[in-house]
Every structure is written in structure tokens, then in C-alpha cells.
Amino acid sequence: MNLKKTFTFIFSITLFTKPVLANYLSIGESGEIIPKDNYRLGASLQSLTAGKSGLNVGGYMDMGINSDSSARLLFAVGSVDFQLGGSYKYIPFPDYENQPAIGVRTAAWVARVSDTSITTFQIAPLISKKVQVPKGELTPYIAVPINMTFTKDTNTTGTQFVVGTEYSHPELENVQFAGEILLNLNKSESGLCLFASIPLDPKKGLKRRNP
């Protein structure tokens, strides 16, 4: 399957998926850890087709903490009026030879939908394995998030099954793409999210085109 057909397939899935807060509950990363003191700046997109139909558009920044962990700050706006959160990823078992990367990702969000304020805490076992393909590098991952969601009137614990992959194309050396499908297992949401990120050097800032 070539790159054009792959993106067509992903877009087609979004037309038949039922996501309401799935961007808000997404994983969006494999078990790979960026180097300490390195940063990546990214954007996320989700199509909503049920309930408050429309789009969620967001941004995030990844930070390498040490060889075993990284953190992510994120925000989004759209059909879910406002989202702000952060996550911490700990991978004590790295991707090495035949061993996949194994670890856990924790996250917390605050969000607002219409007049409802929502606070969510998430913990997700995570496993991934990098593979070389003819046109780049894929890092498929699987996670099983447990989401504890609190509003003024209700407290809910839900679970999901998440499958996704990160992708790097040899002609776009510094750009990393990711896509994932979220499936509701119990009292949660289903959906599809797309991500793209680039390296960010805080000492140099974003590169600008020469005049």
C-alpha cells in the first residue's frame, strides 16, 4: 500500500467512527523515548461524526527527561470546547533486538464541553516495536488505557483498546507522523486521531526561511 492509499484509508475510517472525546483520551505515541533535553513540537487532528460533530484541533510538546522517560504537554479546541493536559511516559524495558518496548503512560486532562467541566486521569500500559519498511520506519504500538473521569454530577471509570503507529519517511527526515484507532471497551469512547511533530531546539527556536 503506497503512502497516498494509506492516508485515503485512514481518512475513510474517520467517516465511520464515533469519537466524542477521543482526542482528549488519546495516547498518540509509542514506547520510543526522545533523548534527554530534546523537544518535539506537534499538532493533532480528529474528525468527530457523532454527538457534537466537527473537529478537534490541538498542539503538544514532548520533552525528553532521561533514558527511560519523557513528558508531553498538550492542548486542543474544537467540538470539545477546551482541553488542557499533560502526560508522563515511563519505559523501563526498551525496544532491543527481539524485545519490544514495554512501559506505562500516565496522563491528566481538564476539559469543557458546553457547560460541563471534566477532569480525567489516565493510566495506560504500553507496548511497541520498531520495524523497518521499504519507505521508512514504522513503530506500531498497543495500549489499554484506564480513564477515570469526573464531572460535577458523575464519576466514571472506563477502558479502551488503542492501536496505532508512528511513521517516519526517509524524504521527510525530521517529521514524525502518527495515527491511532481508539476502541471503547467499557464506558469510554471510540475514535481516530492523527499526529505530526518536528524537532524543536529551544536555544535556536523554529527555523525561518532566508529572505
What is the number of structural domains in the chain?
A: 1
Per-residue pLDDT for 10 more than 80? no
Task: Give the Cα separation of 94 and 68 in Å (integer).
Answer: 8
CB-based contact 168:3 (threshold 8 Å): no
Residue 104 lies in a domain: yes
Among the listed ranges 46-60, 166-180, 188-202, which one has the minimum average pLDDT value? 46-60
Q: What is the pLDDT of residue 19?
A: 37
Q: What is the pLDDT of residue 13?
A: 39
Residue 84 lies in a domain: yes
CB-based contact 22:192 (threshold 8 Å): yes
Per-residue pLDDT for 6 more than 50? no
Whole domain around residue 154: which residue ranges?
Answer: 3-200
Residue 179: closest CA among 55, 37, 14: 14
Model confidence pLDDT, tens digit, residues 16-52? 433 344 456 789 999 999 999 999 999 998 764 444 4
CATH number at residue 14: 2.40.128.130
Residue 49 lies in a domain: yes
Among the listed ranges 55-59, 96-100, 164-168, which one has the minimum average pLDDT value? 55-59
Residue 210 lies in a domain: no
Q: What is the DSSP letter of 191?
A: E
Task: Give the Cα separation of 111 and 21 in Å (integer).
Answer: 10
Q: What is the pLDDT of residue 47?
A: 63
Residue 101 lies in a domain: yes
Percent of the chain whose predicted confidence (pLDDT) is above 70: 79
Q: Which three cell numbers stand for residue 48?
A: 468527530
Residue 162 lies in a domain: yes
Residue 144 lies in a domain: yes
E strand or H helix that includes residue 12: helix 3-14
Q: Are strands 191-200 and 176-186 parallel, antiparallel or unpaired?
A: antiparallel
Residue 15 lies in a domain: yes
Identity of the residue numbered 90: Y
Q: What is the pLDDT of residue 191?
A: 78
Identity of the residue numbered 150: F
